[in-house]
């Protein structure tokens, strides 16, 4: 059985960032990815400017936005800043760029290799191969096998459904329609020649069928033509319960680090992947940046929990939040997982 210093399960943004940092520090790292192609992922591809400029090459930008349009039951506002607030990236291109960097740093990436079982010091794959590890990183997304092995449940999970609609869309839009999406929202995130048009909702509050019905009705009202297009759906785990478990780590969606309010998970995945790697290298590493992100993520979760339990009060809070942003009392970055503005 071949031994590695660290095995990373999953070649998403979290896993690839973690593996690259470890390899740059001379560690022997293996990434196991179940899909043959690294990158494609059901995702709107929105990345906040803070996350983008720190971690992602600007050449990957599809479109960037200085203005955000937020529509609710009572308000329709535009927030504008002097630097871009959010940009969009194509997940397939982002994944290819990240895997090329990781490979150049010396990471071994085994594609088309699903991890099927985890043991104390080794893992086995669907193809009956076994690999030994000193450290294990679960970067395997919202239905993580590493998380299950650690006995951590996943109750706070959202469903995201989107269509890639062809056309030249100009505005980045967020629609917080509590009647149709409850605590969730629908979005239009423009890319180069298309837009991700989708909806996100807390599975405990609204069933995917209802969410979809509300979304279809909303697209019809907005005159968005989905005829002939296929929806794509995936889960977003925001049930954070820790990231460090002895010699095992969880990062990104596997750790439940996405925002339950917005679904933003790319930056949390990258930052937690980076922090896990540095902590493996030096157990006294100062992971303050991740701690601040977790603090924000927990705030989003508390707001969501309150809105889910108190429907009317929740609606008022959302309206008050939008009003405060309109008046400049609260910055748009309150919704972001990064530290811009």
Ligand X SMILES: Cc1cc2nc3c(=O)[nH]c(=O)nc-3n(C[C@H](O)[C@H](O)[C@H](O)COP(=O)(O)OP(=O)(O)OC[C@H]3O[C@@H](n4cnc5c(N)ncnc54)[C@H](O)[C@@H]3O)c2cc1C
Burial 211-224 (b: 16+ CB within 10 A, else e): bbebbeebbeeeeb
Binding ligand X (rule: CB under 6 A), the pick from 177, 264, 274, 336 is 264
Binding ligand X (rule: CB under 6 A), the pick from 6, 8, 14, 135 is 14
Nearest Cα neighbor of 184 from 209, 210, 220, 158 is: 158
Q: Is residue 269 close enough to count as binding ligand X by CB under 6 A?
A: yes
Least Å from the CB of residue 178 to ligand X? 19
Here's the x/- map for ligand X, 141-160, by CB under 6 A: it reads as x---x--------------x
Q: Is residue 258 close enough to count as binding ligand X by CB under 6 A?
A: yes
Q: Is residue 338 close enough to count as binding ligand X by CB under 6 A?
A: no
The tokens for 73 are 């039951």
Q: Which of residues 270-329 bind ligand X (CB under 6 A)?
A: none
Report how far residue 164's alpha carbon sits from residue 235's, in angstroms, rounded to the nearest whole number: 17
Q: Is residue 234 close enough to count as binding ligand X by CB under 6 A?
A: yes
Here's the x/- map for ligand X, 92-131, by CB under 6 A: it reads as ----------------------xx----------------
Q: Give the range of 73-81, 223-231, 259-267, 308-316 binding ligand X by CB under 6 A.
A: 259-267
Least Å from the CB of residue 42 to ligand X? 5
Binding ligand X (rule: CB under 6 A), the pick from 20, 62, 253, 274 is 253
77, 157, 247, 276 from 6: Cα distances, Å: 47, 28, 10, 11
Is the four-CA dihedral 261, 59, 140, 241 of positive or negative sign? negative
Q: Is residue 252 close enough to count as binding ligand X by CB under 6 A?
A: yes
Q: How many C-beta neighbours within 10 Å does residue 339 have?
A: 16
Least Å from the CB of residue 46 to ligand X? 3
- Please give the full DSSP string across 267-292, using - where no structure is assigned: HHHHHHHHHHHHHHH-TT---HHHHH
Binding ligand X (rule: CB under 6 A), the pick from 8, 18, 19, 44 is 44
Q: Which is nearer to ligand X, 11 or 71 (CB)?
A: 11
Q: Determine which helix (DSSP H) or strand (DSSP E) holds 162, and give its type and residue range.
A: strand 157-166
Burial 250-262 (b: 16+ CB within 10 A, else e): bbbbbbbbbbbbb
In the structure, how many helices (H) and strands (E) does the chain have? 9, 18
Q: Give the range of 136-144, 163-171, 172-180, 307-315 binding ligand X by CB under 6 A.
A: 136-144
- For ligand X, the binding residues (CB under 6 A) are 9-15, 32-35, 41-47, 114-115, 139-141, 145, 160, 162, 189, 198, 234, 236, 252-254, 258, 263-267, 269
């Amino acid at each position: 059985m071949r031994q590695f210093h660290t095995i990373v399960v999953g070649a998403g943004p979290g896993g690839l960032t973690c593996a690259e940092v470890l390899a740059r520090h001379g560690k022997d790292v293996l990434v196991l990815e179940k899909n043959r192609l690294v990158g494609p992922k059901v995702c709107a591809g929105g990345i906040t400017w803070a996350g983008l400029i720190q971690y992602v090459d600007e050449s990957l930008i599809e479109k960037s936005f200085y203005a955000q349009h937020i529509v609710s039951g009572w308000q329709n506002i535009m927030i504008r800043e002097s630097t871009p607030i959010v940009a969009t990236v194509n997940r397939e291109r982002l994944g290819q760029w990240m895997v090329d960097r990781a490979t150049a740093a010396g990471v071994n990436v085994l594609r088309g290799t699903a991890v099927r079982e985890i043991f104390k010091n080794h893992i086995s794959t669907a193809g009956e191969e076994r690999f030994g590890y000193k450290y294990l990183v679960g970067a395997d997304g919202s239905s993580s096998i590493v998380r299950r092995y650690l006995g951590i449940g996943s109750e706070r999970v959202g469903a995201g459904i989107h269509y890639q609609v062809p056309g030249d869309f100009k505005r980045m839009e967020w629609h917080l329609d509590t009647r149709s999406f409850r605590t969730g929202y629908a979005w239009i995130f423009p890319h180069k020649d298309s837009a991700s048009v989708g909806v996100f909702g807390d599975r405990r509050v609204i069933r995917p069928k209802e969410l979809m019905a509300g979304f279809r009705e909303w697209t019809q009202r907005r005159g968005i033509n989905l005829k002939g297009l296929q929806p794509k759906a995936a889960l977003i785990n925001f049930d954070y319960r820790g990231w460090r478990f002895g010699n095992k780590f969880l990062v990104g969606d596997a750790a439940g680090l996405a925002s339950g309010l917005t679904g933003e998970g790319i930056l949390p995945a990258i930052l937690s992947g980076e922090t896990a790697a540095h902590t493996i290298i030096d157990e006294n590493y100062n992971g303050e940046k991740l701690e601040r992100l977790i603090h924000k993520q927990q705030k989003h979760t508390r707001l969501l929990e309150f809105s889910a339990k108190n429907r009317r009060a929740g609606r008022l809070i959302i309206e008050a939040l939008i009003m405060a942003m309109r008046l400049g009392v609260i910055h748009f970055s309150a919704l972001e997982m990064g530290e811009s503005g």
